[in-house]
């Protein structure tokens, strides 16, 4: 079942694989019998409406008002007791203070690739209505238009464009975005979606089944056309794109350090069930306290019960009611259910392969299991 903290606002930043994530999260809620979820917001209609209302104002003013309009929709859905809120609605520090029972999660994409995808999507929208459609000239015109300022640095604006009073404010958005990352329960990345799915299951107890829904790729008639379009963004054109993404690149880099698979902080998910772990590991001779423990099967940190972050094997799920030195069973993300003991370790018994495996210690993500039957190392 989903945890008690199951009120979620998924901050869907445009062109960050949000459609696939939204669908997967919505299905996860539905499978648990919870239908009180919101649908995607009409983003294109909202965008056009905000441009009409602020048509005589600068791009920054339009962006600020746009964020405030969307924050209003966010609050409406929260007040309607929506358990899962999705769509292009920005992160709101004011919502964090007013509605502490909501978790905030998002998925990010490399800013340069995200902006390129957004530009392609934009120029292809008018393709059918123009006879002499030239993609290169369309891209060059867009890069000279104020519109590019609204397309670029969306990570920064969605994560930090609202101040702590709920006002849209472009000035200081990067500083706020960098700080607001600490308030997110989960941040995933387009190039690490399997890791995001695994972490979602750790946090909420249900699998996140992702199905690719790349809207931009469907715009191309052929593979060669797609290749030709992306070639336009090479060389000096790519340098221009990078210049537009400076704030987003800094925010993205910080998010990777906090939440990426090679993160620098030890525990992205502090344990809320410390007492449960204390009870489970009652029979374990502990060489260190707090969230960090050291045992005969290696060093690990407490996550969200019953998950622990093993220094070499990564996330594993502890099985059984109590830790037993004579029979410790756990579920590994790729190797399945394994069992071992203080006497047998580093050998582990695999229920998946129905045989004993050898275990080779190594740095995080580099450990491996040895199958004695096939005489092969099973990397994970």
Q: pTM of the entire structure?
A: 0.66
Q: Give me the CATH number covering residue 151.
A: 3.40.50
Same domain, 293 and 249: no
Give the mean pLDDT of the chain: 79
Q: Please, which pLDDT band fits residue 112 given cuts at 50, 70 and 90?
A: very high
Asked, for residue 264, whether it belongs to a domain, the answer is no
Query: In the listed set 232, 259, 286, which residue is the last one of a domain according to the structure?
Result: 259
* pLDDT score recorded for residue 266: 47
The last residue of one of the domains, among 259, 287, 308, is: 259
User: How high is the pLDDT of residue 165?
Assistant: 82
Worst-scoring range by mean pLDDT, 105-114, 144-153, 271-280? 271-280
Shared-domain flag, residues 54 and 149: yes
pLDDT band at 246 (very low <50, low <70, confident <90, very high): very high
**Structure confidence by residue, pLDDT tens digits, 198-244:** 888 888 878 888 876 555 566 666 778 778 888 888 888 889 899 99
Proportion of the chain above pLDDT 90, given as a percent: 17
pLDDT at 245: 92
Asked if pLDDT for residue 335 goes beyond 70, the answer is yes
**pLDDT at residue number 138:** 80
User: What is the domain extent for residue 92?
Assistant: 7-259
Confirm whether 2 is domain-assigned. Answer: no
Same domain, 240 and 357: no
Q: Give a yes or no: residue 267 inside a domain.
A: no
For residues 254 and 280, state if they share a domain.
no
Share of the chain above pLDDT 70, in %: 78
The length of the chain, given as a count of residues: 380
How high is the pLDDT of residue 323? 85
Q: Where is pLDDT greater, at 308 or 269?
A: 308
Helix ranges (DSSP H) in 153-295:
154-160, 173-180, 193-204, 223-231, 236-244, 246-259, 274-280
For the cut 60, the answer to whether the pLDDT of residue 358 exceeds it is yes
58 & 192 share domain: yes
For 170, residues 6+ apart whose C-beta sits below 8 A from its C-beta are: 60, 63, 64, 157, 161
Same domain, 215 and 290: no
Residues 230 and 373 in one domain: no
Q: What is the pLDDT of residues 156-208, one digit of tens each?
A: 999 999 988 888 988 889 988 988 887 888 999 999 988 888 888 888 878 88
Residues 155 and 81 in one domain: yes
Q: Indicate whether 330 pLDDT > 80.
A: yes
In this structure, of 53-62, 135-144, 315-324, 352-361, the range with the lowest mean pLDDT score is 53-62
The answer to whether residues 76 and 223 belong to one domain is yes
Residue that terminates a domain, selected from 216, 233, 259: 259
Query: Over the stretch 264-294, which tens digit does the pLDDT of each residue have?
Result: 544 445 444 566 777 788 767 555 555 677 8
How does DSSP classify residue 316? E
The answer on 279 and 238 residing in a single domain is no
Residue range 120-132, pLDDT digits in tens: 887 776 665 566 7
Query: Measured between alpha carbons, how far is 271 from 201 in angstroms, rounded to an integer?
Result: 15
Would you place residue 40 in the very low, low, confident or very high pLDDT band (cuts 50, 70, 90)?
low
Mean pLDDT within 115-122: 86
Number of domains making up the chain:
2
**Long-range CB contacts for residues 323-332, cutoff 8 Å, separation at least 24:** 323/280, 323/281, 323/282, 323/283, 323/284, 324/283, 325/283, 325/284, 325/296, 328/297, 332/380
Do residues 150 and 197 share a domain?
A: yes
- Residue 90: its pLDDT value, please? 94
Of all residues in the chain, what percent are helix, strand and coil, respectively (each to 5)? 40, 20, 40
Q: Does 1 map to a domain?
A: no
- For residue 160, the model assigns a pLDDT of 93
């Amino acid at each position: 079942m989903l945890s008690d903290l199951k009120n979620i606002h998924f901050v869907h930043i445009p062109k960050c694989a949000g459609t696939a994530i939204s669908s997967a999260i919505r299905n996860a809620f539905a499978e648990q019998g919870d239908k009180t979820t919101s649908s995607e917001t009409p983003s294109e209609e909202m965008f056009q409406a905000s441009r009409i209302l602020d048509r005589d104002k600068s791009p920054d003013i339009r962006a600020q008002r746009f964020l405030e309009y969307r924050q209003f929709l966010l609050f409406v859905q929260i007040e309607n007791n929506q358990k899962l809120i999705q769509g292009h609605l920005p992160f709101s520090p004011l919502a964090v203070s007013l509605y502490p029972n909501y978790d905030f999660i998002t998925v990010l994409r490399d800013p340069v690739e995200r902006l390129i995808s957004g530009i392609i999507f934009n120029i292809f929208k008018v393709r059918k209505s123009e006879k002499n459609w030239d993609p290169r000239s369309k891209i060059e015109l867009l890069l000279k238009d104020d519109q590019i300022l609204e397309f670029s640095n969306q990570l920064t604006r969605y994560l930090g464009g609202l101040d702590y009073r709920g006002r849209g404010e472009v000035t200081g958005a990067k500083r706020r975005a960098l700080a607001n990352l600490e308030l997110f329960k989960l941040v995933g990345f387009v190039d690490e979606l399997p890791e995001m799915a695994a972490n979602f299951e750790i946090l909420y107890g249900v699998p996140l089944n992702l199905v690719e829904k790349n809207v931009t790729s469907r715009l191309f008639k052929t593979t060669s056309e797609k290749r030709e379009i992306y070639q336009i963004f090479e060389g000096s054109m790519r340098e221009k794109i990078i210049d537009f993404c400076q704030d987003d690149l800094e925010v993205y880099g910080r998010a990777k350090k906090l939440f990426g698979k090679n993160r620098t902080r030890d525990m992205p998910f502090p344990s809320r069930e410390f007492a449960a772990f204390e009870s489970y590991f009652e029979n374990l001779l502990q060489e260190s306290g707090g969230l960090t423990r050291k045992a005969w099967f290696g060093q690990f940190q407490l996550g969200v019960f019953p998950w622990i972050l093993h220094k070499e094997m990564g996330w594993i799920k502890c099985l059984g009611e109590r830790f037993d030195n004579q029979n410790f069973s756990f579920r590994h993300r790729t190797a399945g259910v394994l069992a071992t003991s203080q006497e047998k370790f580093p050998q582990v018994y695999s229920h998946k392969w129905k045989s004993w495996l050898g275990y080779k210690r190594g740095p995080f993500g580099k450990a491996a299991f040895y199958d004695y039957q096939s005489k092969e190392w099973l990397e994970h």
